[in-house]
Amino acid sequence: MNLRNILVPLGAVGLIGFGFATSGWAGVLAVVGGLVMWGLLHFTRLVGVMHRAARRPIGYVGSTVMLNARLAKGMNLMHVVALTQALGEQLSDADADAQPQRYRWTDGSQSHVTCTFRDGKLVQWTLFRPEGGAEPDPSPVESRSDNPQQAKDAHEPRSSFDGRS
**What confidence tens digit (pLDDT) does each residue in 49-97 have?**
999 999 889 989 989 999 999 999 999 999 999 999 999 898 887 776 7
pTM for this predicted structure:
0.68
Mean local confidence (pLDDT), 5-17? 92
Q: Please state, for a pLDDT cut of 70, what percent of the chain lies above it.
A: 78
Neighbour tally for 110: CB within 10 Å? 11
* Residue 100 preceded by cis peptide, ω within 30: yes
What pLDDT does residue 69 have? Answer: 92
Please state the rounded mean pLDDT for residues 32-44.
96
